[in-house]
Structure 1
Amino acid sequence: MKSTLKKLLPFAVVGVISGATTVGGLQYLNHDSNSADQSYFTKASNVSFAGMNSAAVGDDFVKAAKTTVPAVVTIKNYQTRTTSRASEQDMFDFFFGDPFGGRGQQRQKQQQVPENMPSGMGSGVIISPDGYIISNNHVVAGANKLEVVLSNKKSYIATLVGTDPNTDISLLKIEEKGLPFLNFANSDNIEVGQWVLAVGNPLGLNSTVTAGIVSAKGRGIGILSSQGKAANPIESFIQTDAAINPGNSGGALVNTNGDLIGINSAIQSTTGYYQGYGFAVPANLARKIVEDIKKFGIVQRGFLGVTSLDLSDDQMVAAYNKQKKTNYKAGSGILVTGFGESSGAEDAGLKTGDIITSIDGTPITDFADLSMSVGSKRPGDKVVVTYQRNGKEATTTVTLKDQKGGTSTRTKADLTVTEKIGAEFKPLDERFKTDYGLNSGVIANNVTEGSEIAKIGIVDNYIVIEINGKPVNSQKDVEKILDKYSGNVSVKFVDAYGQIYTRGFKMP
């Protein structure tokens, strides 16, 4: 018994020191609540991206820390920052009426941040000796320039290779060789209760290491969908109580061997700071996203092609029963409520009312399980679906398809113009053109965060008047001008205040 206590004592001391250092660090750092990193930290329903920085120091796990710290970098995001200007909302509504939606809501006007001041900072992990770095999408979103600073303070300007808002993963590249890097571990093998380290740059504290355990697996916390940037989010986070704070986003969650098991992404908190609940994207999912970006330039995503109800959500089940006059019981599994066009699941014989209970032998208890099991695969992949129908269990093999019904992979060259530039466009009402003296125009819609259109300052509901000097009145006009075009693109647009800008980007 005594020998067991002696073995456990160092880990208990780590936990005490880690927690005490966190509290002390926050009390000290809270004196500067207006620092640049704080503006990059967002909250939604008490769930917040850990977009900036964290605190706490471990006294053990020396081998893992020595392996990890040199491979974790600081990422500085330089961009045009937007700030709310509520005093100008009435002028906007008076001039433009309400074609942009949301009368009475605050509008945003762009202000240029000094070039030498980052709009936000986060972390990243070097995953190859030739300079590939993985981080979060929200760490790099909207950047005009990305600076990477190594633990030895050496600085580089990074190229953004690609991003995936649906998993909150991004891939960067710096030009260097012989860099320290981390190996991906098989995150499927992690166990609840095992020790882990979180390494990042929280609250301005570079190369910080904190210790904790895996608290849970397969957590869906709704942050990607609530931020409105992910059309088909995959949330199956590793939950940990290792201290994670603003600035840890994009940093490493490693096992005691120093192998990468997750990318730290979010915290759940009522204050915006660490309260014991941190979340990381599993390494297996992150690795798949990185491989897709490197090989294809875009993420390959397979879909079952079903609409569904998460039976683990008793409130949603009750609401569904009331609306549809059914009597499904809350519990475990995913209820099939319908099918999309060209559905692989429907082709394989699934029917409305079937309850999916496993994919390839992995139990499906809730939507987080389903999104991870299917979303981590590519179009054309086959999965064995186990389901219940009228109380009887059955299986079928489903060929996954992309959202367009295809079963083959795509590259950037296969993307449509609107997919490449990151926005769709709706025609502008002719009456509106007449009233405000516009000869042309389309309304930007579904602008993707971090896209080429977003980088030049266009957001949803701004009016694009011309592209490359040519008037545009429909999405077809935009596609015709930019189809097979590879040069610099000039965009003339009107912002929410009636100001006209001309800005450009290079066609991807």
Structure 2
Amino acid sequence: MKKPRFRTLTYAGVGLAGLAAFLYAEEVKTEEAKVENIESKIAYDHSEIANSGQLVMSYADVVEQVLPSVASISTFAKPGQQRGPGGQRQLDEEDLEALPPMFREFFRDYMERNGPQGEEQQSPRNQRRQRQQAPVRTGLGSGFVLTEDGYIVTNNHVVDNSDELKVTVGNASREYTAKVVGKDPQSDVALIKIDAKGLIPAKIGDSSKVRVGDVVLAMGSPMGLDQSVTQGIVSAKGRSQLQILSGQGQMGGYEDFIQTDAAINPGNSGGPLVDAKGRVIGVNTAIQTRTGMFAGIGLSIPSNMAVAIALDLAGDGKVERGFLGIQMGDVDSGMAEFLGLKDDRGVTVTAVVDDSPAAKAGFQSGDVIVTVDGSEVEDYVKLRLLIGSKRSGETVKFGAKRFNEETKKPEDIELQAVLQSLDGEKVLAGMQRGPGGQNAPALKGNEFLKGVRVVSLNEQLRADYGVPEEVEGLVVTSVEEDSPAGKVGLLEGDVITKVNRKAVKTTAEAKSLRGEAGSVMLLEIFREGQTKFLPVKN
């Protein structure tokens, strides 16, 4: 739950500040009570699925249980602003030719009946009448009932850029007008509400218990065919970095998809992916395809993530995510060996935002985070999801590896950070770096390490190599491939910003730090807008 955050109005005196704090606290209490009331109406079922290995001849009982909770969502826009679900343009003839032949006539007929292309074939009088009859149907999607009083979960891209939503539930003919309670583009989850009572809420399963190979059913309205069901298995878990949600804001999308081979097609978006007991374990969201149609790879948002976001949206229409304040990178084999890690799992801290929770907790660039609250961190995607699932004010324990400069050995450390609310502008201001370049002319430079020559940064070098003003250090002008530094990946054009975590601006400073180092030095470098760490034999 969101925790109260109090502000004082210093310009108005203590009395007004106290009143403001009281009113704000009452508002937060009201929001929390609303969320708790909604959550108490959700039907959870986290029991295990029996694994008897017997062949199931029919899922009809499961389907009959779930379909009354499946919603069909039609989106509408004002004339002249018609766009498909998620703001996508309508299909044209060129798009139709790219589809398999058996689907072309279906979509052509559908577009003529519902899309703006049909308007072109009407008489001028009918066109004028059509323009006066706003809004126009633009797309179809699906959803599932979360509570009996009308809260429905769907995808953001289904309801985004729409002026009106019409919803039918189950096989009932009644059509409801829905309002958007809240949308979260970064996860592609949305919560909508219809004015209804006595609906049948879907049972919500525990998506963390889902296993690859489990039987699943996808339900929804593919291509406008309401109450459709397809069957398959869970093909994989934890799919990310697919760039499906890229472009959804500066921070990118939160991807942790369940992959399935249950057929998912246009119109299925937002509908439930259910297990063999009829419990929702995912929200059907996207497909990987080259044709625009299902090709055996469907992707669903895990139910644990989707429901948590929906509850957050129910409070004030927004999602609050935890903010730690680090820039992250993957652990390469050289860094893993340097710190004595068994493998390259973990996340390297490449930068720490000033005055952030990470800075206050004592994080340093070069630290490698291996656990969060006892859970192993495999890569930066997993860490981002874990932190994003937390709330402002929560205390989080991190297990990390750090190289001790005094003992010249890596050591295990534990850090605790009190998260703040994620503020995209703050993050970008503290961490954004410009692009780097490697098209600068060759310079001789001074030898810093065996086979490595460097030169101090100046304005001309910054322009030649594309180095931002805030970056200070030594530009690497040449690296011999068979040198110790060359073997671990140091490249011409890299900027050495720190040696053993101490900033360097001149060759003399770098050589002095090299003399103080042991058998291995840790170089912090800036390359193409990112910070990297390279352990180099001295």
Is this a same-fold pair by TM over 0.5? yes
CA 1:403–1:151: 2 relative to 1, 3 Å? closer
CA 1:63–1:229: 2 relative to 1, 3 Å? farther
Answering whether residue 394 of structure 2 is matched by residue 393 of structure 1, we say no
Partner of 2:264: 244
CA 1:392–1:66: 2 relative to 1, 3 Å? farther
Quote how far apart the aligned CAs of 1:115 are: 3.3
CA distance in 2, matches of 1:344, 1:405: 15
Counterpart amino acid of 1:376?
A: S
SS class of match (1:258)? coil
Q: Deviations over 1:307-359 (max 9, x none)?
A: 111348x9xx99xxxxxxxxx99932211111224321221122111111221
Gaps of 5+ in 2: 1-51, 84-88, 91-119, 121-129, 336-340, 404-409, 426-538
TM-score, with normalisation over the residues of structure 1? Answer: 0.57
CA 1:231–1:78: 2 relative to 1, 3 Å? farther
CA distance in 2, matches of 1:394, 1:60: 54
After superposing the two structures, state which structure 1 stretch, 198-207 or 113-122, moved more.
113-122
Quote how far apart the aligned CAs of 1:81 are: 2.3
Answering whether residue 374 of structure 2 is matched by residue 370 of structure 1, we say no
Quote how far apart the aligned CAs of 1:199 are: 0.9
SS class of match (1:292)? helix
Q: RMSD of the TM alignment (CA)?
A: 2.9
Quote how far apart the aligned CAs of 1:246 are: 1.1
After superposing the two structures, state which structure 1 stretch, 125-134 or 328-337, moved more.
328-337
Give yes or no for contact 1:202–1:244 (8 Å, CA) kept in 2.
yes
Percentage of identical aligned residues: 38
Partner of 1:335: 348
CA distance in 1, matches of 2:352, 2:200: 47
Give yes or no for contact 2:217–2:274 (8 Å, CA) kept in 1.
yes
Partner of 1:421: none
Greater C-alpha radius of gyration:
2
Structure with larger RCO (C-alpha < 8 A, sep 6+): 1
Give yes or no for contact 1:191–1:214 (8 Å, CA) kept in 2.
yes
Counterpart amino acid of 2:310?
A: V
CA 1:127–1:244: 2 relative to 1, 3 Å? same
SS class of match (1:66)? helix
1:345-384 equivalences in 2 (<5 Å): 345-384=358-397
Quote how far apart the aligned CAs of 1:71 are: 0.7
Counterpart amino acid of 2:350?
A: T
SS class of match (2:68)? helix
Answering whether residue 422 of structure 2 is matched by residue 403 of structure 1, we say yes
Partner of 2:141: 122
CA 1:228–1:287: 2 relative to 1, 3 Å? closer
Quote how far apart the aligned CAs of 1:9 are: 4.7
Q: Deviations over 1:418-448 (max 9, x none)?
A: xxxxxxxxxxxxxxxxxxxxxxxxxxxxxxx
Gaps of 5+ in 1: 1-5, 11-58, 85-110, 319-327, 407-508
CA distance in 2, matches of 1:332, 1:7: 34
TM-score, with normalisation over the residues of structure 2? Answer: 0.54
CA distance in 1, matches of 2:278, 2:389: 24
Pick from 223, 233, 236: which aligns with 1:216?
236
Q: Deviations over 1:167-211 (max 9, x none)?
A: 100000000100011122222222222111111111222111112
Give yes or no for contact 2:156–2:188 (8 Å, CA) kept in 1.
yes
Partner of 1:263: 283
CA 1:355–1:75: 2 relative to 1, 3 Å? same
CA 1:270–1:308: 2 relative to 1, 3 Å? same
Answering whether residue 181 of structure 2 is matched by residue 161 of structure 1, we say yes
Pick from 73, 76, 91: which aligns with 1:75?
73
Give yes or no for contact 2:67–2:170 (8 Å, CA) kept in 1.
yes
Quote how far apart the aligned CAs of 1:122 are: 0.7
CA distance in 2, matches of 1:8, 1:272: 35
Equivalent pairs, count = 315
After superposing the two structures, state which structure 1 stretch, 358-367 or 220-229, moved more.
220-229
1:97-108 equivalences in 2 (<5 Å): none
